Structure 1
């Protein structure tokens, strides 16, 4: 019988790419999510019955234990950018990974991939970064041979980075950002999935790997690149820190006063703390080179999914070609 991998958050942005790769490698894939009915898009990744969404709540031991039953390996892609209700950073990104790793060890599973983030630091002023570091530590304590992946900002079809700002650029002549000088090293989502697959198929050792693409650019430069791809002229406005702090505080208070009904997905005070630090691979960190993977450049990928934000959408290239024929 083929091997089985349980992927927590396997229907999400990164998780579904790992699920697709593992299905193509011949593994059975169990996609553990809070709502299996919303994860049916993963089923066509393999043959009938090869990829199955199942219910799981990573805050509950029994739920996690059930979806680990019979698995040969485990991947955890569950993460949040904003706290909401019981889904806080500590519960989801610190306790959750620790619970998965502990129960995996009890079940005799030795191989686990934990998706973390560059900037994970127990001493960070950001609660997000501290919880990521706590999750890493808990995983490695239970499963010393686990692989921890720390990507920079991840891009690809369906991302919440370039797609978000490209959508914002559709309205008005100004694109406001905060942390304009912060440096990022964007990484293609399928390259992150390839790193996880390599480890799961016994092609790489465990430990911490920091993953970044071939380009390091400031936040402002990334927005200018994105605007070039979607063919929009916008003024990239760097918000002064006091203004950004006031906005973040206001959005956070609105979420609090609404009792969590309105979730702050715009800008939080914790995100401002994260933006104060560069998000690039450390010089002494292990990364793609150690895995034998050549990461894709943004220019080779962004036009393939940001075209829908162009004034002429999918017809922009055809119009260019017609214009060249006339000249």
Structure 2
């Protein structure tokens, strides 16, 4: 196949490029960075392209003017940025990709399980449970709007919803867990939310990449949850993280009734005492240590049903070993 991958300079997009090249496909990598290391995208040709800017389109090399598939991985994935940054990075960039490749045979859009309601538990949720959710956070709202843009422009598209993607090159999940470690008189402690027995569906980047390529090469359309084979228990994962980094495996859990007001206060202080994040993104030093988004997503069960993906995409998630992914890359 001839495949265009957006967001190729990022964690998931670069992994898709490498896997597609290894499978023998012709790949064009697109990203916002000016350049990327050749090995990051397995030597695929690379174009710097801000999809949110309709005037920025570069000339596409043959044969990528009419690819067989576009796998749209570009987006702003964080819990702390200005609403306009989320809108630009997720909504406008998605509309830009749709406009740039209107006649592509397959359009695969990488969304997120954050489109489900963060205020209540997500228990083996099916895809239709995200319908009519009123999002209180800018990230979830922007991803839901991006999904709506895809459905309107390409009813035949595939939308994938992973949750908590991890693996080699992860710049979000594991770093945020380690940031929650605090020095106390009793030694390092990892502070978490809830009681630790919450079940979570995680998604290894390897399984997500498999789903992307299955969607690109298949005939199914619609929206599909994508996770690992089985959910995990939060406390088990956190203890593995601590052990992998030589820290005492003793998470300290804060009840939601305590953590949520603390997160609201932290966000308020961040907005009033720190410069605002830049319009195009966000710096980790400007982010509060605790956010409402993170609290809500950790306080409840977050598990997803895979029946649709297994049935229509022939998705068969491979068993995963968390241990290697729990160390810094």
Q: Using the TM superposition, give the Cα deviation of residue 258 of structure 1 relative to its aligned residue in structure 2, in angstroms.
A: 7.5
Residues 1:66 and 1:292: Cα distance change in structure 2 (over 3 Å): same
Q: Larger relative CO (CA 8 A, sep 6+): 1 or 2?
A: 2
Q: Map of 1:1-327 to 2, 5 A cutoff?
A: 3-43=1-41, 45-46=42-43, 51-64=44-57, 66-67=59-60, 69-80=65-76, 81-82=78-79, 84=81, 88-105=85-102, 108-120=103-115, 121=130, 122-159=133-170, 160-166=172-178, 169=181, 172-178=187-193, 183-202=199-218, 204-239=219-254, 240-241=258-259, 242-256=261-275, 262-264=285-287, 266-275=289-298, 278-282=301-305, 286-288=308-310, 290-298=312-320, 300=321, 302-306=322-326
Structure holding more helix per residue: 1
Aligned length: 296
Distance 1:146 1:65 in 2: 24
Instruction: List gaps (5 residues or longer) in structure 2.
Output: 116-129
Deviation at 1:197, TM superposition (A): 0.6
TM-score by length of 1: 0.77
Separation in structure 2 between the aligned mates of residue 23 and residue 251 of structure 1, nearest angstrom: 43
Tell which deviates more after alignment, 5-14 or 122-131: 122-131
**Deviation at 1:189?**
0.5
CA RMSD of aligned residues (A): 3.1
> How far, CA to CA, are the matches of 1:63 and 1:103 in structure 2?
11
The gaps in structure 1 that reach 5 residues or longer are 310-327
Hey, what's the Cα distance between the residues in 1 that align with 2:327 and 2:294? 28
After TM superposition, give the deviation of residue 9 of structure 1 in Å.
0.6
- Cα displacement (A) at 1:279: 2.8
